[in-house]
């Protein structure tokens, strides 16, 4: 395997021999037959992190916590020009995120956000039962998440924080400079950089074998879970996003991906590109392992984590069975079996749900004014999920809370 010697991360010694691709990626013959040269183009992104964020986090960790927090908050609220004598890494990072791409259309982003929020509980189900299991199925991609058992035990909290991130991104103007969605996106990006830093510092992450933790390939794959994959999952359950809004959703998350640190060369620009990317990832990855199964089990069984008495536990168990059934329908039998899904009778309810959603789609298509009512209902549903899930404890998205114990990170992307 050929190597080169770029310094891919501040905690990888300069001049260290870094493989072009991880060891597991070398023999991908079957994937090449399907995707051709895209397989070779994709591989190196498994060894790439997010240099601007990695450099900024290195500087932030060298500053006093109060000073770092103050400078970061001021830069997020008022812009880098308002910060007195900022370090070079600060200037470079914020200059990058302040660059508005020529293709960005704020009206499209607002329409895309409304379209996502309009899906309400159904969108949350598709995210939990389709998008996230597709992500967790990747053995090496899930390693930063499962390196600490506490992550598996906090599945319901993680779902709630993901919902908060989604809702704030999708609000009108959510990704504009200084908006809450913008600030959360940047803070999550720095949390990812902190996880990379801590794992590499402990010398326990075999990047030659697994690739860089929280690398570009899986950052890009995670990004399309909220756009192309969400649209596809909704369609599988009978909810057809109007053609006029599909690209709006993609462009919203395309810009969110750039703010999150995804390289523009791999950040999906169309719905088709997003689906091709996720298909490529699943074509090149190894089958799910025990870590993947543990992570998906924690996700599906999150309702049991919240049950406080036998009656609540009985209701939660029925909900868990339903989630497993819907997820089996969405991800397909082979992947569901590989993830050790139980075979519950609830998998047969998907056609009924599909029929109901097709009827709802027809109403929205023929009664345009119903879209406003669905948007208000959907947003209220998302907000109730977040309020109940946070239970009065705010989601801080603080990069300093991304810590690594003996087993790995206690917070990861």
pLDDT band at 395 (very low <50, low <70, confident <90, very high): confident
- Region 407-412: what's the mean pLDDT? 38
pLDDT, one tens digit per residue, over 183-239 is 999 999 999 999 899 888 877 788 888 889 999 999 999 999 999 999 999 999 999
- Region 295-317: what's the mean pLDDT? 90
pLDDT given at position 403: 55
Joined together, the tokens standing for residue 109 give: 């982003």
pLDDT given at position 412: 39
**Angle between helix 88-97 and 65-78 (nearest 10):** 30
**Mean pLDDT of all residues belonging to the chain:** 88
Joined together, the tokens standing for residue 20 give: 């072009």
| Gyration radius from the chain CA atoms | 21
pLDDT of residue 311 exceeding 70: yes
pLDDT, one tens digit per residue, over 54-65 is 999 999 999 998
Higher-pLDDT residue of 115 and 8 is: 115
pLDDT, one tens digit per residue, over 260-287 is 999 999 999 999 999 999 999 999 999 9
Higher-pLDDT residue of 202 and 97 is: 97
Kind of pairing between the strands at 404-405 and 408-409:
antiparallel
How many whole angstroms from its chain centre is CA 99?
23
- Region 371-380: what's the mean pLDDT? 86
pLDDT, one tens digit per residue, over 12-54 is 777 777 888 988 887 888 899 999 999 999 999 999 999 999 9
pLDDT given at position 80: 93
pLDDT given at position 147: 65
Handedness of CA 302, 401, 49, 14 (dihedral sign): negative
Q: Which of 88, 6, 1 is nearest to 52 (CA)?
A: 88
- Region 355-380: what's the mean pLDDT? 81
pLDDT band at 408 (very low <50, low <70, confident <90, very high): very low
Contact 6, 31 (CB under 8 A): no
Cα 137–Cα 224–Cα 36 angle in degrees, nearest 5 = 75
The segment with the largest mean pLDDT, out of 25-29, 339-343, 378-382, is 339-343
The SS3 of residue 29 is: helix
- Residue with token string 């948007």: 375
Counting Cβ atoms within 10 Å, is residue 353 exposed (0-12), middle (13-18) or buried (19+)? middle
The SS3 of residue 413 is: coil
Joined together, the tokens standing for residue 311 give: 């009656």
pLDDT given at position 148: 53
Distances (CA, A) of 400 to 44, 195, 197, 411: 29, 10, 11, 10
- Region 163-180: what's the mean pLDDT? 95
pLDDT given at position 256: 98
Specify which residues 404 forms β-bridges with.
409
pLDDT, one tens digit per residue, over 78-94 is 999 999 999 999 999 99
pLDDT, one tens digit per residue, over 113-125 is 999 999 999 999 9
Question: Kind and range of the H or E element at 408?
Answer: strand 408-409
Joined together, the tokens standing for residue 322 give: 């339903």
pLDDT of residue 297 exceeding 70: yes
Within 10 Å of residue 30's Cβ, how many Cβ atoms? 11
pLDDT given at position 5: 42
Q: What is the pTM of this model?
A: 0.90
**Angle between helix 243-259 and 155-170 (nearest 10):** 110
Percentage with pLDDT > 70 across the chain: 93
């Amino acid at each position: 395997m050929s190597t080169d010697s770029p310094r891919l991360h501040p905690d990888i010694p300069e001049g260290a021999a870094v493989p072009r691709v991880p060891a597991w990626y070398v023999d991908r013959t079957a994937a090449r037959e399907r995707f051709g040269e895209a397989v070779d183009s994709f591989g190196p992104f498994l060894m790439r992190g997010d240099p601007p964020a990695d450099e900024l986090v290195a500087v932030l960790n060298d500053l006093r916590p109060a000073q770092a927090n103050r400078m970061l908050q001021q830069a997020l609220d008022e812009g880098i020009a308002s910060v007195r004598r900022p370090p070079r890494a600060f200037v470079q990072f914020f200059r990058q995120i302040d660059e508005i791409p020529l293709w960005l259309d704020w009206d499209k982003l607002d329409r895309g956000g409304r379209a996502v929020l309009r899906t309400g509980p159904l969108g949350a189900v598709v995210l939990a039962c389709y998008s996230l299991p597709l992500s967790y199925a990747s053995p090496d991609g899930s390693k930063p998440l499962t390196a600490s058992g506490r992550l598996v035990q906090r599945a319901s909290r993680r779902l709630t924080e993901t919902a908060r991130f989604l809702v704030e991104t999708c609000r009108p103007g959510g990704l504009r400079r200084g908006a809450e969605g913008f600030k959360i996106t940047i803070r999550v990006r720095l949390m990812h950089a902190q996880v990379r830093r801590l794992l590499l510092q402990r010398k326990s992450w075999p990047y030659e074998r697994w690739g860089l933790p929280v690398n570009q390939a899986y950052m890009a794959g995670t990004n399309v879970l909220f756009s192309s994959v969400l649209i596809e999952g909704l369609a599988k359950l009978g909810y057809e996003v109007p053609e006029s809004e599909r690209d709006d959703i993609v462009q919203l998350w395309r810009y969110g991906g750039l703010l999150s640190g995804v390289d523009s060369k791999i950040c999906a620009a169309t719905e088709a590109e997003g689906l091709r990317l996720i298909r490529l990832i699943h074509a090149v990855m190894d089958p799910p392992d025990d870590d993947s199964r543990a992570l998906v089990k924690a996700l599906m069984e999150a309702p049991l984590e919240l049950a406080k008495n036998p009656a609540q536990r009985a209701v939660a168990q029925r909900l868990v069975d339903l989630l497993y059934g819907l997820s089996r329908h969405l991800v397909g039998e082979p992947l569901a079996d590989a993830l050790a899904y139980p075979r519950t009778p609830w998998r047969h309810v998907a056609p009924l749900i599909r029929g109901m959603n097709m009827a709802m789609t027809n109403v929205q298509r023929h009664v345009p004014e119903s879209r406003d009512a669905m948007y208000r209902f959907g947003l209220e549903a998302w907000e109730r999920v977040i309020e109940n899930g946070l239970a009065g404890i705010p989601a801080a998205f603080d990069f300093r809370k991304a810590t690594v114990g003996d087993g790995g990170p206690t917070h990861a992307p």
